[in-house]
Amino acid sequence: MRGPTLKNARQDDSDFDAQVAGLILRRGPELPEFGATIRYLWETRSVTGQMIALDGGQHLAWQTPDVTGMAE
Domain residue extents for the chain: 13-68
Mean pLDDT value of segment 13-25: 87
CA of residue 45 relative to chain centroid, distance: 25
Phi/psi region, residue 5 (left: phi>0; alpha: psi -120 to 50; beta: rest), is alpha
The CA distance from 61 to 47, in Å, is 26
Q: What percent of the chain has pLDDT over 90?
A: 12
pTM to 2 decimals? 0.60
1 pLDDT band, cuts 50/70/90, is very low
The structural architecture, per CATH, of the domain 13-68 is Orthogonal Bundle (1.10)
The CA distance from 49 to 11, in Å, is 33
Helices (H) and strands (E) in the chain, counts: 3, 0
Pick the residue with more confidence: 61 or 43? 43
Q: Give the mean pLDDT of the chain.
A: 82
Rg (CA), the chain: 14
